[in-house]
Structure 1
Amino acid sequence: MSTRRVVEEAIRLADHEGVDGLSMRRLAAVLGAGAMSLYRYVASKEHLLDAMVDVVFEEIDLPPEDADWRTAMRQRSASAREVFARHPWAIGVVESRTSPGPAHLRHREAVTACLRRAGFSVVTATHAHWLLDAYVYGSALQEATLPFDTRADFADVTEEVLLPRLAPEEFPYLHESAAELVATGYDPAEEFLFGLDLVLGALEPLRGRTSA
């Protein structure tokens, strides 16, 4: 038994059952240990959550230093979206932490450094960081609840469920959109990068300004 093993098992449990059902007693049962014995590795559930979030941040790629800021933040944001898709419970926990761990802090430092070196002021870099995180978190949450993941899934759901309910005379624009998206092979997986590029493009003019 080690602290790392306790934390990784807690993450696996949260991934499958959600963080609300996570308790020291439940975790101890999964590990085959006594609940009180876990306190030798983590002082409390709050400390456990801090450690879990830190491990999640270890999985997110840092913005590469040898790329321009938009490329760097695009790669970082795409990586974050993939990580939070694997650990959807973390989205609601990350921003509530008041004792961020070393991986969490390294990540925040790297993102801030990328934006500051690109010419964003402290204030505009903060705006940019918040906006990008809001987009990443929101996209991950939205995607977790969608009834489709792929182009084929979207086509099946649209043709079998949506189109039969969209009478052309009552919902002409929705019917037109659904039919055309299926016909043209629309892929919902492209939505994240489409929106991300719009966000990054909107941030570009703010470089060099003292405020937004």
Structure 2
Amino acid sequence: MTPQPDAARRTPLNRDRVLRAAVALADASGIDGLSMRSLAQELGVVPMALYKHVANKDELLDGIADIVVGEFAAPVGGTDWQADVRAQILAARGALLRHPWAARVIETRTQLTPGALAYLDALIGTFRAGGLSADLTHHAMHALGSRVWGFTQELLPAPPEVEGAQREAALREMAARYPHIAEIAAAAAHEDDTVVGGGGCDDQFEFEFALDVLLDGIARLHAAGWSSKTAG
């Protein structure tokens, strides 16, 4: 817990202060370290004081998700829709790298928050302003999937958490049982500090590679006048 100066403790609470303190606590302690009790302690108040500003833990999580989504860059309004979409999605990824817990919170929201809806509306608007049809934009958003939020769902298994001889033995066993998975897993090295929300392959290069493949494909369909009604 970060000691709170007396002046900060005396500052009246409001919803924004509560949510921003929760974001800071999650950044410092992880999302599992965030509770109404720990947040109240951080703010120097009794837990009941928080319920005047957030009704429960779910509303708190909705609020901090919106704080992070608010850090996603707005569309730049240029003449290149593909560059604008790419920049906005990479800005979303940058926000999640600053707040590694946020991907998990965004994934678990049962309803889209106002900030999330505004972000999706703006992103869809960028496609539409670029001349893409509503039909192609609909399918493009599905294809992009969780990438619009700055992360991707893990596909391949994470490396064994054990180290040394145990790790080598586990890798050899995997290679013997699943040689093709082992082959591609060994084909490229990934940097640990680029992964959003934990271990795995979701590093910056991998993320941008997949994003560019998708956007290039969407651009080709747009240029060809593609429609789901005529696709066969």
TM over 0.5, yes or no? yes
What's the counterpart of residue 75 of structure 1?
Answer: 87
State the Cα deviation string for residues 102-135 of structure 1 (Å, max 9, x = none): x333211110111122233334312222332423
Task: Pick the aligned partner of 1:48 from 47, 60, 64.
Answer: 60
2-side partners of 1:129 and 1:99: how far apart? 15
Structure 1: stretches of 5+ with no match in the other structure: 148-160
Work out the CA distance in 2 between the residues paired with 1:181 and 1:113. Answer: 36
The whole-number CA distance in structure 2 between the counterparts of 1:181 and 1:21 is 34
1:202 aligns with one of 200, 217, 222: 217
- 1:113/1:35 CA distance change after superposition, 3 Å: same
Contact 1:11 1:52 in 2 (8 A): yes
Residue correspondences, number: 192
Select 1:191's aligned residue among 203, 206, 214.
Answer: 206
Q: Post-superposition shift, 1:72?
A: 0.4
- Tell me the distance in 1 between the aligned counterparts of 2:52 and 2:138: 38
Q: Identity of counterpart residues, as a percentage?
A: 35
TM-score (norm 2): 0.65
CA distance in 1, matches of 2:150, 2:126: 22
Q: Distance in 2 between matches of 1:141 and 1:2?
A: 35
How far does residue 181 in structure 1 lie from its aligned partner after superposition?
6.9
- Deviations 1:146-177 (Å, cap 9, x if unpaired)? 89xxxxxxxxxxxxx98xx89xxx99xx89x9
Give the secondary-structure state (helix, strand or coil) at the position aligned to 1:12.
helix
Distance 1:67 1:98 in 2: 33
**In 2, distance between residues paired with 1:99 and 1:193?**
25
What is the TM-score normalised by the length of structure 1?
Answer: 0.71
Paired with 2:226 and 2:17, the residues of 1 have a C-alpha distance of 46
- The structure that is helix-richer by fraction is 1
For the residues of structure 2 that align with 1:20 and 1:123, how far apart are their CA atoms? 40
Q: Cα offset for 1:67?
A: 3.2
Q: How many angstroms does 1:59 deviate by?
A: 0.4
Change (3 A) 1:87 1:141: farther
Deviations 1:75-111 (A, max 9, x none): 011111111122222222324242512x333211110
| Residue type of the alignment partner of 2:212 | D
In the alignment, what sits opposite 2:73?
Answer: 61
Deviates most, 194-203 or 92-101: 92-101
Q: Is the 8 A contact 2:81 2:126 kept in 1?
A: yes
Confirm or deny: 8 A CA contact 1:85 1:140 kept in the other structure: no
Aligned letter for 1:35? P
Q: Give secondary structure in 2 for the equivalent of 1:59.
A: coil
- Which residues of structure 2 form unaligned runs of 5+? 1-12, 160-166, 195-202
Higher relative contact order (CA 8 A, sep 6+): 1
- Name the CA distance, whole Å, in 1 between partners of 2:75 and 2:46: 41
Aligned residue type for 2:111: T
Aligned pairs (5 A) from 1:1-212:
1-95=13-107, 96-98=109-111, 100-101=113-114, 103-135=115-147, 139=151, 189-207=204-222, 208-211=225-228
Query: How far is the alpha carbon of 1:194 from its aligned partner?
Result: 2.5
The one-letter code matched in structure 2 to 1:43 is A
RMSD: 3.7
Report the CA distance shift for 1:181/1:16 in structure 2 as closer, same or farther (over 3 A): same
Check the 8 A contact 1:88/1:141 in 2, yes or no.
Answer: no
